[in-house]
């Protein structure tokens, strides 16, 4: 009963999204609204603060959607790419590498303040590109051992890689290279450089608006890439791979290259988001690179609907706001009636939401039509986990 009710509720929504006029009218309206609405809030508004974080999660969810949604490769170690992005800004945009150049620092296209500090300081937007390249390389490396594997085994290998990267991040202060260490360990790297963009305003904790516009720009770029990728030759190859690997291979889809490109593309978006999030929170915190972060992003993708770009955007915004407002402000007073403290229950509530979501609506809020058919009619469902070399 619950299932059909939910379905009935979202059916009109799905029809609207599928309508081509939606894309011509609604998308510019939504983007216009997104550009205008922060002007109605003060610079230090907590709502804008949460929205910036939500937008970063949108970028990550869109990246993971390429791997899990388009190509059907279940990645449980997505946090690795967030870590790569974070360390890109940690290495190239903070005082972390202070001994470099006789403690005078290396500077490239940065404003006056970091321009006088030791360490490597490269312009934020160049670091984003570096991070994307680093993360893409890491993604391809993580993808390599999974090429022969399928389904759950891919999930486990990616999870193992995510944990290894988190472990190295947390203990990297013990890995010495001359006078440098790999990471700052659990101590973290702080402060981190902020973007240097004349004309947008002052990037500070007291003024969220410039951050918001940078995040929005990143979301729009990634959205554009996602839509173009989905409709490209590569995107169709990913979907073919997801539905039936053997058939795709026999139709001439280069399996290895297609899979690695999926990992690399998804990872690049994750790395970009990692730079922005670390710069925004002004810290690279090794303790935040844990498994639950990967699951948080994966839950956004699943809540929205695997492979559905607008669904994933919706899912990321919904879960992010649920995390910042829904749990403390809505569930908090409700649970207080039962004598429970909501701050101790974040984990459990999130787990409960995951279970509920999967049992009630496994296809997500705005499922992609093709993916839904796969879900309900079992296309591509039978698969062995290991490709045994005969």
Partner 1 sequence: MEAASFAAGRVRRASALAWVRGLLSSYGLYVALLALPLVYGINDLQHAHNLTRLGQNLVNGLSNGAIWALVALGYTLVYGIIELINFAHGDVFMIGSFASFAFWTTLGLTVATSVLGLVGGLLVTLVVSMIACGALNVMIERVAYRPLRNAPKLAPLITAVGFSFILQNVGELWLGPAQHNVSDLIHAQQKVFSISGVVVNRSDLLALAVTAPLVILLTTFIARSRLGKAMRATAQDPEAARLMGINVDTTISAAFALGGMMAGAGGLIYALYQTNIWFFQGFRAGLFAFTAAVMGGIGNLRGAVAGGLIIGCVQQISDNRFGSQWTEAIVFGYLILVMVFKPQGLFGEQTREAG
Q: Which residues bind partner 1 (CB under 8 A)?
A: 74, 145-146, 148-149, 151-153, 155-157, 159-161, 163-164, 167-168, 170-171, 174, 291-292, 295, 298-299, 302, 306, 344-345, 347-355, 357-359, 362, 374-375, 378, 381, 385-386, 388-389
Burial of 40 (0-12, 13-18, 19+ CB in 10 A): exposed
* Nearer to partner 1 (CB atom), residue 192 or residue 306: 306
Q: Which of 240, 350, 365 is nearest to 301 (CA)?
A: 365
From residue 195, alpha-carbon distances to 92, 119, 128, 286 in Å are: 13, 16, 10, 22
* Nearer to partner 1 (CB atom), residue 125 or residue 352: 352
Longest dimension (CA), the chain: 70
CB-based contacts of 84, cutoff 8 Å, min separation 6: 131, 134, 135, 138, 165, 267, 270, 271, 274
Quick check: helix, strand or coil at residue 18?
helix
How far is it, in rounded angstroms, from Cα 96 to Cα 85?
15
* Nearer to partner 1 (CB atom), residue 206 or residue 343: 343
* Nearer to partner 1 (CB atom), residue 47 or residue 350: 350
- For the chain, where are the E strands, in sequence order? 106-108, 120-122, 176-177, 180-181
| Minimum CB distance to partner 1, residue 268 (Å) | 22
Token pair belonging to 13: 């929504």
Provide the sign of the torsion angle of the four alpha carbons 91, 94, 98, 104, taken in this order: positive
* Nearer to partner 1 (CB atom), residue 160 or residue 225: 160
* Nearer to partner 1 (CB atom), residue 29 or residue 164: 164
* Nearer to partner 1 (CB atom), residue 129 or residue 255: 255
């Amino acid at each position: 009963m619950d299932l059909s009710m939910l379905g009935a509720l979202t059916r009109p929504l799905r029809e609207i999204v599928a309508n081509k006029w939606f894309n011509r009218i609604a998308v510019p309206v939504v983007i216009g609204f997104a550009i205008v609405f922060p002007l109605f809030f003060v610079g230090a508004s907590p709502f804008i603060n949460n929205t910036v974080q939500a937008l970063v999660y949108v970028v990550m969810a869109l990246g993971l959607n390429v791997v899990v949604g388009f190509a059907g490769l279940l990645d449980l170690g997505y946090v690795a790419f967030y870590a790569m992005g974070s360390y890109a800004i940690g290495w190239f945009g903070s005082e972390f590498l202070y001994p470099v150049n006789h403690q005078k620092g290396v500077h490239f296209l940065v404003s006056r303040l970091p321009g006088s500090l030791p360490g490597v300081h490269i312009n934020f937007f160049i670091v984003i590109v570096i991070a994307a390249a680093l993360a893409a390389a890491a993604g391809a490396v993580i993808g390599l051992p999974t090429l022969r594997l399928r389904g759950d085994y891919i999930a486990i290998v990616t999870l193992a890689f995510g944990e290894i990267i988190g472990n190295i991040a947390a203990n990297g202060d013990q890995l010495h290279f001359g006078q440098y260490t790999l990471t700052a360990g659990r101590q973290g790297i702080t402060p981190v450089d902020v973007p240097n963009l004349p004309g947008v305003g002052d990037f500070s904790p007291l003024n969220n608006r410039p951050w918001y516009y940078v995040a929005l720009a990143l979301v729009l770029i990634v959205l554009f890439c996602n839509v173009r990728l989905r409709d490209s030759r590569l995107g169709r190859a990913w979907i073919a791979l997801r539905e039936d690997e053997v058939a795709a291979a026999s139709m001439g889809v280069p399996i290895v290259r297609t899979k690695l490109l999926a990992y690399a593309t998804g990872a690049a978006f994750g790395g970009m988001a990692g730079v922005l999030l670390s710069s925004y929170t002004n810290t690279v915190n090794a303790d935040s690179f844990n498994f639950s972060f990967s699951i948080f992003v994966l839950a956004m993708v699943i809540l929205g609907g695997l492979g559905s770009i607008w669904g994933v955007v919706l899912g990321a915004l919904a879960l992010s706001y649920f995390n910042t407002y829904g749990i403390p402000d809505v569930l908090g007073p409700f649970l207080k009636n039962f004598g429970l403290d909501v701050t101790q229950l974040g984990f459990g509530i999130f787990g409960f939401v995951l279970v509920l979501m999967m049992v009630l609506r496994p296809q997500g809020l705005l499922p992609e039509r093709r993916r839904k058919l796969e879900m309900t009619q079992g296309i591509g469902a039978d698969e062995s986990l290991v490709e045994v070399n005969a």
